[in-house]
Amino acid sequence: AKSAGGNRFEVADPEADARAITRHGLTTALPMALDRGEFFIEYQPLVHLGDGTVHGAEALVRWLHPQHGVLGPDRFIPLAEHTGLIVPLGRWVLEEAVGQARAWQERHARTGPMRINVNLSPCQLTHPGLVSDTVDILEDAGLEPDALCLEVTESALIGADDDLLKPLRRLAEMGVDIALDDFGTGYSNLANLRRLPVSILKLDRSFTQGMQQYPADPVDLKIVEGIVSLAHSLDLAVTVEGVETGAQAEQLRILGCDTAQGWYYARPGPPDRLHELALADARG
Ligand code: C2E
Ligand code: CA
Ligand code: CA
Ligand code: CA
């Protein structure tokens, strides 16, 4: 940190400068990156906590930058949101992921339906084309709306008015699942949940981290137990993310969580990896 007074400001933090330059460079390179096909998606399996079988995956976008190599979404999603590129980028992710889900379904006729989860940024929620784009993408791919889950962060919906909720309600009526992502970090009013067209709570990774030791901290256990029982009483399924160990998986299963995602099961990877995992399940 530096004080902003006089020529002290000249003694800039070189790392901060580098970060700012990179940020600027990345921002200007973003629109071209989409045209050049530099984005790609990794898929992380979603498993049933009961038996560990794969029933779907979350799509996580990456950028293969010609100079900087593979960049994670935390590096460029905020920039894309700031410049508005998130709308075409988000649409591309949805199209790509829905097409992939359809391809999995064709290869997995015997293993049951494969579901696909796609993240939505708050800017996409307020974009008027959200519902029609989603309908078109599902129809073009021939994927049932039931197989799609859109993840919206809890913070994006805090204090949401009816105008913001309307497109989500329409999607939910069509059968698309809406998940509340990063749940438990936004201090939302729990009673408010009834008003939201969501069918899944994705418990934030911070709760999963609390389950690292065995037995877990009793207060953490109580909190998760409370959230799960509230969710179930409202007919919401609970997904946990960031499961890194068997002990975490076991405690979260005992607490009644329904599905899980995390390095313990698989890291995000290319689409064929998911195909192999699902096939391994089918073989038993
Ligand atoms: P998220 O939606 O909460 O996604 C979960 C993040 O946790 C992913 O990070 C995933 O790689 C990571 N993760 C999964 N399992 C584990 C684990 O066991 N341990 C730990 N420590 N981490 C785990 P990633 O891929 O870097 O994505 C970061 C965030 O970027 C996502 O958080 C999401 O908010 C955003 N994002 C990713 N793809 C998209 C997209 O297509 N559109 C939008 N709007 N946002 C996206
Ligand atoms: Ca997510
Ligand atoms: Ca559904
Ligand atoms: Ca999350």
- Its ipTM equals 0.97
**Cβ 111 under 6 angstroms from ligand 1:** no
* Confidence band for 249, pLDDT divided at 50, 70 and 90: very high
Report the pLDDT value the prediction gives residue 175, as an integer from 0 to 100.
97
- Whether 117 is in the pocket of ligand 1, judged by its Cβ within 6 Å, is no
Indicate which atom in ligand 1 lies nearest the CA of residue 93. Answer: 41
Please work out whether the CB of residue 45 comes within 6 Å of at least one atom of ligand 1.
no
- pLDDT classification of 214: cutoffs 50, 70, 90: confident
Ligand 1 pocket, residue 61 CB under 6 Å: yes
Q: What's the CA dihedral at 191, 160, 41, 87 to 10 degrees?
A: 170
Q: Are 81 and 255 in contact (CB under 8 A)?
A: no
Among protein residues, the one with the nearest Cα to ligand 1's atom 41 is: 61
Question: How large is the average pLDDT for residues 24-47?
Answer: 95
Report, as an integer, the average pLDDT of 199-203. 95
pLDDT over 70 (residue 7)? no
User: What's the confidence (pLDDT) of residue 170?
Assistant: 97
Residues of the chain above pLDDT 70, percent: 92
In this predicted structure, the answer to whether residue 199 has a pLDDT above a threshold of 80 is yes
**Ligand 4 ion: residues within 5 Å (CB):** 181-182
pLDDT of residue 141: 97
- 215 has pLDDT over 60: yes
CA-based nearest residue to 28, from 65, 61, 62: 65
Distance of CA 23 to the CA centre of its chain: 23
Cβ atoms within 10 A of the Cβ of 222, count? 11
- For residue 241 and ligand 1, the question of a CB distance below 6 A is answered with yes
Residue-wise pLDDT tens digits, 40-99:
999 999 999 999 899 999 999 999 999 999 999 999 999 999 999 999 999 999 999 999
| Helical segments of the chain, H only | 14-35, 73-83, 86-107, 122-125, 130-141, 154-157, 162-174, 205-209, 218-233, 246-254, 271-283
| Ligand 1 nearest-atom number relative to CA 268 | 11
